[in-house]
Structure 1
């Protein structure tokens, strides 16, 4: 059975991300899309740095490269996604973006169960996409932005898994968030600094940093330490589901029959991955004994007996 604590972490991440995205949209008119993404990552990184106090001065070159790639994927994923949801609806954007993790899950599938779960999740995404596309026409630029964000989402999953293995605790995530924010800062210009001139905007920025970065990425890092990337990629399909549910509950958006069917399919795929038994580990090959083995030490009685036998 898939680690239940890891599944709870993913659910918590999905809920937190959707609440954070709702706050972030409120900042777009003031800080811009790139600026909102940069401020969100930098604030979340600063908070986590204070909490974890990572000893990055002791990291090896391999650890630094892993964290740098993690930060770059984080920054690009968030920057392009925010540009997308500024042009197309949130639910539609999340649905299209999920093509990245879904493609990764399909590529890493090793068993028929994995393939079946990917197929169910893909069918659910298709239904969500059909429901989204039946409304008003979408911005082509917004779709391009979210497809790029989806590609970086797949990179983020692999990079997060790698950092979770290389760097203990949450220190790697803290530094990666700062790197991602610094990477986006030149694209935002000075417009993002407006959040520091108004207490309401600053509160929105801090809330976005905590709900959309600090909490979900910390939970996902914990989950990825306990799950294989292909399993994580299927379970994270719950994110578009929560986007649809929050749109219905908080934004009074219509929850159509297609959306309900898609939600059921995605939940079914996640349940199958969650309750499935883990694959058996391949036994390690036997280690060959060394050609030369030193003689065992004999007791005094054995040595005396051997000497007497030789003399006789």
Structure 2
């Protein structure tokens, strides 16, 4: 969600009932996002994580372009270069996340990715509380992963790369929110990302490495993980203060673990649930503390 949308929605009056409805919508958005990731995982065996990401990017572009209608011919270089970088971030973030999901499971992958926005929230802070949050996040990840000789380091590394990309997404989106109106930046960046995955689609078609069932799963991932969250977050942010957005985002690892359990049969060990709980709690504390200091 672009920074200008957050700022505009922050100024609007909110009733208790509309706030509750907005929060419920955001929780539904998070659930849809993680269910979509689990649905997409069912296509990994046929078209692989790259194929699922390709289809998801085309679905997202097909929705965002008609809504935002960016005039690409009038983009200046100051608008284009962060847009191109954001497109690269989209392409890398989704592929690294789905690669991690394929290797280490949905709950662990999303929790590692979640370190990205947490790092942005803690970056540049010098307070003892934020230092404690950073240490707590590290401890939570250690408990979650319990690194050893049998650890899938490539999968863990893919999840951490997704976290770096998510942090970059936040920073680039803030920059583009001041340079492009509305949703033009994510629409243009999603289009760039979709074009980057065009060779993947061509290769899958030429090799015959696809099936309509796998494509349907990938389209479902695009709808549930891109279209539905986009619409829900846009509606919810009209009534929910921006600071709550970060707090509600904390449910993503929990929903990812539940979606993995129900839809993929991924049973987490006790230490993994403990690690997820620690990372989620640290994020809530960091967001609330940051908001309190800014008032």
Q: TM-score, normalised by structure 2?
A: 0.73
The aligned residue for residue 170 of structure 1 is 183
Matched, 1:37 2:53: yes
Can you give the 5+ residue segments of structure 1 that lack an aligned partner in the other structure? 282-312
What is the CA deviation profile of residues 118-152 of structure 1, one whole-angstrom value per residue up to 9, with x for unaligned ones?
4444443333223xx68x93433333333322222
Is the deviation greater in 150-159 or in 107-116? 107-116
User: Per the alignment, do residues 66 and 26 of structure 1 end up closer, same or farther by CA in structure 2, a change over 3 Å counting?
Assistant: same
Matched, 1:22 2:38: yes
Rounded to whole Å, the distance in 2 between the matches of 1:153 and 1:81 is: 10
Q: Name the structure where helix makes up a greater proportion of residues.
A: 2
The aligned residue for residue 279 of structure 1 is 293
User: Per the alignment, do residues 153 and 205 of structure 1 end up closer, same or farther by CA in structure 2, a change over 3 Å counting?
Assistant: same
Matched, 1:241 2:254: yes
What is the CA deviation profile of residues 31-75 of structure 1, one whole-angstrom value per residue up to 9, with x for unaligned ones?
222122112111211122123323333433322222222111011
Residue of structure 1 aligned with 2:78, choices 46, 54, 62: 62
Aligned-pair distance for 1:101? 3.5
User: Per the alignment, do residues 110 and 216 of structure 1 end up closer, same or farther by CA in structure 2, a change over 3 Å counting?
Assistant: farther
Secondary structure of 2:62's counterpart equals helix
Output aligned runs, 1:174-253, within 5 Å: 174-187=187-200, 189-191=202-204, 199-216=212-229, 227=242, 236-251=249-264, 253=266
User: Per the alignment, do residues 57 and 163 of structure 1 end up closer, same or farther by CA in structure 2, a change over 3 Å counting?
Assistant: same
Matched, 1:143 2:159: no
Size of the alignment, in residue pairs?
A: 273
The aligned residue for residue 5 of structure 2 is none
Bigger Rg, which one: 1
Higher relative contact order (CA 8 A, sep 6+): 2
The answer to whether the Cα contact below 8 Å between 2:38 and 2:259 also exists between their aligned partners in 1 is no
Rounded to whole Å, the distance in 2 between the matches of 1:129 and 1:174 is: 35
The aligned residue for residue 7 of structure 2 is none
The answer to whether the Cα contact below 8 Å between 1:235 and 1:273 also exists between their aligned partners in 2 is no
User: Per the alignment, do residues 278 and 127 of structure 1 end up closer, same or farther by CA in structure 2, a change over 3 Å counting?
Assistant: same
Output aligned runs, 1:91-170, within 5 Å: 91-130=107-146, 137-170=150-183
RMSD of aligned alpha carbons: 3.8
Secondary structure of 1:41's counterpart equals helix
What is the CA deviation profile of residues 254-284 of structure 1, one whole-angstrom value per residue up to 9, with x for unaligned ones?
4554345445434443443555554357xxx
Q: TM-score, normalised by structure 1?
A: 0.70
